[in-house]
Structure 1
Amino acid sequence: MSELKTLFKRVEYDLDGLLHFIDLGDIALPDIQRPFVWTNAKVRDLFDSMYRGFPVGYFLFWESESETGVKQIGVGAKQFKKASRLVVDGQQRLTSLYAVFRGQKVLDANFKERQIEIAFRPRDGKFEVTDAAIRRDVEWIPNISDLWASGKSSYTLVKDYLRRIKEKIDLPEDQEEAIAHNLDRLFDLRKYPFTALEIASSVDEEQVADIFVRINSKGVPLNQADFILTLLSVFWEVGRRALETFCHSARTGAKIDGKASSFNHLIDPDPDQLLRVSIAFGFGRGRLKSVYQILRGKDAETGDFSDAKREAQFEVLKNAQAEVLNLTNWHQFLSAIVGAGFRSSEMISSNNALLYAYAFYLLGRKRHGVDEHILQKLIGRWFFATSLTGRYTSSPETVMDGDLARLRSITTAEEFCKVLNDIIESNLPNDFWNITLPAKLDSSSARNPELFCYIASQNLLGARVLYSHKTVRDLIDPSLQTKKKPLERHHLFPRAYLEGSGIVDIRHINQMANFALLEWPDNISISDDAPSVYVPKVLARLDAAVADQMMQDHALPEGWESMAYDHFLEARRTLMAQVIQKGFNVLK
């Protein structure tokens, strides 16, 4: 029987010692950690607790003897390939302390640098987040970072502060003493004691991830993508920074290398998501666990690791990532998704489906030479189908791995198209359209892939907004920056009307089949009238042929306004499924 051993030891530090080890690169953040997310107010509260002598928690470090990727705490170009201890838990606290004591900027979740400025009032020992009023008030030290950055002794700092404040305010002797005491206490936070639990170097990355998740229930669980990003930090830091630059550009519209940007209206990608695309395109793999070992240079037969194998595999990754981050490829792919009727991020129910579709786009374009006009419709159709069926909702890596495996033996554009079309057709038999899809439309969820595909189909069919001369496609354009949304979801059977008829269950009232997109003035004018009252009024202003087409495009049964509510829902779900199928067939 194997003997269970404690995987950690306890070590005592003072804050000055911790900061010194960070300066040396001996303590660093592993790239399994996330960006800095604390607010300045939370940093203020940390300093207030320490100043009052309260405990503020322990740190969890990982002793590391291997070349595990690290990133410097704070902002700077200096990178360390080796560190004796990596921060597993306590990143936000330690980053806060280092940033304030060293006057360093931090990089936040949006890849933006920011300076943390915490103010201190010596008269009463009060901490506050610095603002314009504090900067004008002589009593405040507007940025406590200056105390330690100055290199002056506490005696000199107290003397300088008292001299400056006496020029503006008359201070009684007892207040001078209190100020001196409080400043000394602040200055001596450098000696604040911390306990660290240090995990042994024998513990591997997966065990560390498990420990991190177990002790930090609010943390985001780590995955294999995090560890592959770690390898990038060590062996290809330029590649990791390129991923982060691309993601920052997608959010802000900032130009990349002074050229175009990756900004779009469909997705704000994260580095780990784009990494998955690179892995799928470059290695033909959906599961990342095996790729992590490959990138470390592991020989599949001997189990040994070698630098030569690692370098060869990184070359594959570098070439794949170059295509993934190529702005022409990126925007051409996104145009295929828009061409399939999905015009904004509000219509994307699965980022997995979107990013995996990008991998297939790159395989078709770069590996198999599919003509762009064919590939555009094929990838749009693929995304539509995988979204509608929820293909990558459960065990996405396993499903993607299987899909990629079917492409490994093919060589031509025709074979590539056939594989994808065969998968689509096998998952969308007649029973899906006639039985499965109407049943799935029995839902009150506002974020439903079937609903998004229904709206995408209306876009593809050029459907007009209900009771309007404008099209759904035009008014759902994300570039429209209006104070009020041009389209609103309207209850065809108004809620107040249904409640007055004895139907009070919100889920029943908010059925997907009871909604249609209307321009907001129409939505307001219809109010709570019964369909049998408002429908004849709005139809009277429309040409009969236009009204008939509109009823078809919005899946409204003939004479629906006079139907019993439950009968209407059942009939409309069937028609909505037919609209989705009709829109999908436009992509053939």
Structure 2
Amino acid sequence: MSKYVVNNTSIDTIMGSIKSGEIAIPEIQRPFVWDSSKVRDLMDSLYQDYPIGYIITWRNPDTKLKDGTTSQGKKIIIDGQQRITAMTAALLGQEVVGSDYKKRRIKIAFNPKEEKFEVYNVAIDKNQEWVSDISDFFKNGFDMFGFVQQYCAANDIGDQSKIGQIINRLTNIRYSNIGIIELSHELDIETVTEIFIRINSQGVVLSQADFAMSKIAVNEKYSGVLIRKTIDYFCHLAKNPADFSAIQMNDVEFVNTNYFDKIKWIKDHHESLYVPDYSDLLRVAFTSKFLRGKLSNLVSLLSGRDFETRDYKEDIAENSYRTLEEGVLSFVNETNFKRYLMIVKSAGIISKSLIRSQNALNFGYVLYLMLRDKKVDQAIISKTVRKWLVLSMLTGRYSGSPESMFEFDVRRFFQADNVEQYVKNVEDGELSEAFWNNILVTRLNTSVASSPYFHLFLISQIKNGDKGFLSKEVEIKHLIEERGDIHHIFPKKYLQRNGMTNRGQYNQIANYVYTQQEINISIRDQSPKEYMQKMIEQCKSKKIKLGEIDDLNQLEENLRENCIPLEIYEMEFNQYEEFLNLRRKQMAQKIKEFYFSL
């Protein structure tokens, strides 16, 4: 079986196929991302009769209808949308929708004397040698003879035939040949997905989520277009709420639907902890409802694939779109979204800087939505999601490609009669005493400040309401929210002065604490013994010179909260490694106590 066929056709024919709906390319499939100069260059290539590449399409698999007949699928643009959009913008004068969802015209000007194209600007508009907008040449009723006469008179040109030939050549752009590669409708979804990703990977890394979104976007029968817009607009407004009015003006039809009513709240939700993009939303909606992890399976299901018979059936496609819609609407539901964030914050995760794994956040939301659908008690949901989120961070459960692990976990949670017991079983297997006493301690031996284990230590401090190092009132939470200083307990300059020049040594995360800037400045490059002795004197004399602590019991409590061994009172340079070893063990113990308190 040939995987594809190649044909040549004209640009005019392509435009007609899009207009008739034979080729599906909705405006929101992908916003137009070319800059105007690329549109100009494309017009010049057409004028020069240079090849402009192939348009690649795939016809959806034919699906079996309930009455036994077969429905032929539409063609989907796999590659070439930007070029087609550029041609409709420049030649037909259509507006394009940019990445900010604002409509704009792209005018390409033409100078017949020099046979040169340029992006429209004010100077060109004032120069009578230029035609400001080439789309004028392609309008019905364009009078080429009258234009040539008028242009030649305005520019003192005697040879009207030459200008006539140039304008004729320009208007014949619409008949330029363009190649179409049509992928066979008999190709399996995984192969088409791989082709889509490979041919679109130049410049922008695309994924199965991109192909799934393209698949959704071309479906009108089961609200695919509306589902796609719901996903796109929700994610866009979560990042760029200022574009709300542009979307309102640009897409009045969608704005008047219930879908828009369900997502417009996000424009007023100013929270950066969890800002999903379309692939996050799609993955969560899909996994929570279908109990699957591979997005290629979503494309198969939306095409109507029966995984047992390998046929494509219309009722499967219909049910799949309905189920996906339910998942998307559950994700964007204001109550669900805010309750999930409340659970995340209740675990001590108050800032995006504390959790770099978007996959962990995504699965946490999958778990929340799935348990909610199972009618699990809300208190159990909150506890389970909290613990699983932290467990995922501890074990790196969803690092790398998460699809198989997403599917494994969601199915077992779904099948579990007692979800708390399931979490306990995983704990017993992965969070043994050896993990807490050896593995975690070893993982804390790093100089990478973005380490998830250092973040987990900070999260445990936030959850416990711990104070900053040598702070009396200011909590770690406040310091992180206000971007306070990370301080070296053994000051960096002090270690460097004593011959330690290796960044990996003096920047160990076990040497880090959060503290107030004024405390950090006061300590400067003193040894721990030196500044801690001053703290003892301060507690005895009650004369404040460093921070605000003036009580020995408060001081020791502060050291305990920050997992700093009491040996710090006498420690100098030669005891640095001993200090790191002692503190790593205390940090690991604190994280352990935090986890089991959730």
* TM-score calculated relative to the size of structure 1: 0.78
Match of 2:229 in 1: 241
User: CA deviation digits over 1:389-418, x for unaligned, max 9?
Assistant: 11122552322322233334445xxx2333
Write the mapping of 1:92-107 to structure 2, written as runs, cut at 5 A: 92-107=82-97
Structure 1 residue 471 corresponds to structure 2 residue 484: no
Q: In the TM superposition, what is the alpha-carbon distance from 1:328 to its structure 2 partner?
A: 0.5
Gaps of 5+ in 2: 65-70, 246-259, 536-544
**Contact 2:460/2:591, CA 8 A, preserved across alignment:** yes
> For the residues of structure 2 that align with 1:308 and 1:55, how far apart are their CA atoms?
43
Report how far residue 331 of structure 1 moved: 0.8
Q: Tell whether 2:402 aligns with 1:402.
A: no
Report the CA distance between 1:434 and its aligned residue: 1.6
Kindly indicate whether the alpha-carbon contact (under 8 Å) linking 2:285 and 2:328 is maintained by their aligned counterparts in 1: yes
Q: RMSD of the TM alignment (CA)?
A: 4.1
Alignment-derived partner of residue 251 in structure 2: none
Is the Cα–Cα contact under 8 Å of residues 460 and 586 in structure 1 kept in the other structure? no
Offset of 1:228 from its aligned partner? 7.6
Distance (Å, rounded) in 2 between the aligned partners of 1:39 and 1:368: 50
2:79 match: 89
Candidates 117, 140, 146, aligned match of 2:106? 117
Match of 1:19 among 15, 24, 30: 15
Which residue number corresponds to residue 513 of structure 1? 510
Equivalent-residue separation in structure 2 for 1:314 and 1:160 (angstroms): 57
Q: Which piece of structure 1 moves more, 247-256 or 131-140? A: 131-140
* Paired letter, 2:93: G
Deviation at 1:274, TM superposition (A): 2.5
Q: What whole-Å deviation, never above 9, does each CA across 1:266-315 have from its counterpart, x for those lacking one?
A: 22223343233233332333345555545544555544444344444544
Distance 2:557 2:590 in 1: 12
Cα distance change on mapping 1:416 and 1:179 into 2, 3 Å: same
How has the CA–CA distance of structure 1 residues 461 and 295 changed in structure 2, closer, same or farther, with 3 Å as cutoff?
A: same
Q: Counterpart of 1:579?
A: 590
Give, in whole Å, the separation in 2 of the partners of 1:38 and 1:289. 28
8 A Cα contact 2:59 2:185, kept in partner: yes
- List per-residue Cα deviations over 1:24-71 (Å, max 9, x = no partner): 333334999754433344434444555566554333333556379xxx
Among 342, 350, 360, the residue aligned to 1:335 = 342
Determine the C-alpha separation between the residues in 2 that align with 1:287 and 1:512: 36
For residues 524 and 168 of structure 2, what CA distance do their matches in structure 1 show? 67
**Equivalents in 1 of 2:477, 2:157: separation in Å?**
75
Give the one of 347, 359, 364 matched to 1:357: 364
Shift of 1:490: 4.0
Counterpart of 2:248?
A: none
Q: Cα distance 1:526–1:37, how it changes in 2: closer, same or farther (>3 A)?
A: farther
SS class of match (1:406): helix
**1:334: how far off?**
1.0
Query: What are the within-5 Å matches in structure 2 for residues 296-315 of structure 1?
Result: 296-299=303-306, 302-315=309-322
Deviations 1:58-100 (A, max 9, x none): 33333556379xxxxxxxxxxxx97764332333223222333
- Aligned to 1:432, the other structure's residue is in SS state helix
Report the residue type matching 1:400 in the other structure.
Answer: F
CA distance in 2, matches of 1:517, 1:318: 45
Three-state SS of the structure 1 residue aligned to 2:266 is coil
Q: Deviations over 1:312-352 (max 9, x none)?
A: 45444444443333211111011100111112222232222
Pick one of 384, 392, 408 that aligns with 2:390: 384
Three-state SS of the structure 2 residue aligned to 1:439 is helix
Does the residue aligned with 1:257 lie in a helix, a strand or coil? helix
Distance 1:368-1:182 versus aligned 2 partners, 3 A rule: same
Displacement of 1:182 in angstroms is 7.2
CA contact 1:357–1:383 (8 Å) conserved in 2: yes
Task: Describe how 1:149-228 pairs up with structure 2 within 5 A.
Answer: 149=139, 152-157=142-147, 173=157, 187-218=171-202, 219-223=204-208, 226-227=211-212
Distance 1:583 1:141, change over 3 A: farther
SS at match of 2:413: coil
Amino acid at match of 1:248: H
Higher helix share: 2
Whether the 8 Å contact between 1:62 and 1:199 is mirrored in structure 2 is yes
